[in-house]
Amino acid sequence: MAEAQPILVVGSVALDDIETPTERRPESLGGSGTFFSATASLFAPVRVVAVVGDDFPEAHLDALRHRAVDLSGLERVPGRTFRWRGRYGADFGDAETLDTQLNVFEHFDPKIPASHRASPVVFLANIHPALQLKVLDQIEKPRLVGLDTMNFWITGERTLLGQVLSRIDVLVINETEAELLSGEANIFRAADRIRAMGPQILVIKRGRFGALLFHPDGVFFVPAVPLRDVVDPTGAGDTFAAGMMGWLAAAGDDDFATFKRAVVNGTVTASFAVQGFSLDRVLSVGLPEIQARTAELLRLMDPN
């Protein structure tokens, strides 16, 4: 691969209170921007734009610095950091949100440093579409723009979200979100309708049933990595997107073969995220482990 291109990510850096059937851990490092940057930095330089309060532990930032994440776009302002509290059931399905405190994130106004505006790869993590539009207005002709969103924005801010979709290249959402956005229960019809909204490349995550890539040159399916144990699914979707975008930034290409390999990489990185609490496993995993698990997954996919 050529020298990896820098990735700009704009998202949340938060403190989570996570409860699973076996453990509860308050004040965990969380947020879409955090999971993304900690993972993508294994493959390419990452620049994060976010906001935290004056209560945010410096040790958490040190964890990102250890991964060489560029934090010059991270604002620290007076007030409390964005907090989310959630609980998982025995099946580790979607988390039940118990409490959300936006705090300083409520007034987040992303300001892209001049040094970041020409970033060739941009990822708009799951934040308000109005903020995603503000970011798009500040960046200079990126090679590739990826986007994440959620049901809340699909139903509550559909017009603004539509404006964002018309300006991006890659959308990464789950199957429920794809059905809600498209109005189609059939995943292939849903993909057709969503791609007509703007993004020519669509990745639909299906949890333990893998992921589907829809690209102008074809469709590709990746199964999930078989795992014996799940510890905490928090951030798995952000980690998937990070593994995918990190691979694309390192490859410097958007062709179908590169995207297929990128979706495999996202699948593998997400499999590590769920095997630790919060970012524990994300921050401890290294490239040799990722490469070994990737080889295992590719062997499982090989029909010969």
Beta strand segments in the chain, E: 7-10, 14-19, 24-30, 46-53, 70-77, 83-87, 96-101, 121-124, 144-148, 170-174, 201-205, 211-215, 218-222
Nearest to 131 by CA among 95, 93, 102, 90: 102
The type of residue at 190 is A
Q: Tell me which residue has tokens 């144990």.
A: 229
Q: CA-to-CA distance for 201 and 215, rounded, in angstroms? A: 5
DSSP class per residue in 194-208: HHHTS-SEEEEE-GG
Q: Is 2 a residue whose pLDDT tops 80?
A: no
Per-residue pLDDT of 29-74, as tens digits, reads 999 999 999 999 999 999 999 999 999 999 999 999 999 999 999 9
pLDDT of residue 95: 83
Per-residue pLDDT of 256-276, as tens digits, reads 999 999 999 999 999 999 999
pTM, rounded to two decimals? 0.95
Q: Is 1 a residue whose pLDDT tops 70?
A: no
What mean pLDDT, rounded, does the chain reach?
A: 95
HSE at residue 87, side-chain half, CA atoms within 13 A, is: 5
| CATH class of the region 7-301 | alpha beta
Q: At 221, phi and psi to the nearest 5?
A: -115, 135
Nearest to 240 by CA among 293, 203, 289: 203
Selected residue with higher pLDDT from 1 and 153: 153
Structure tokens at 22: 């076996």
At a CB cut-off of 8 Å and minimum separation 6, what does 198 contact? 165, 166, 167, 168
Beta strand segments in 102-197, E: 121-124, 144-148, 170-174
At a CB cut-off of 8 Å and minimum separation 6, what does 202 contact? 170, 171, 173, 178, 191, 194, 195, 213, 214
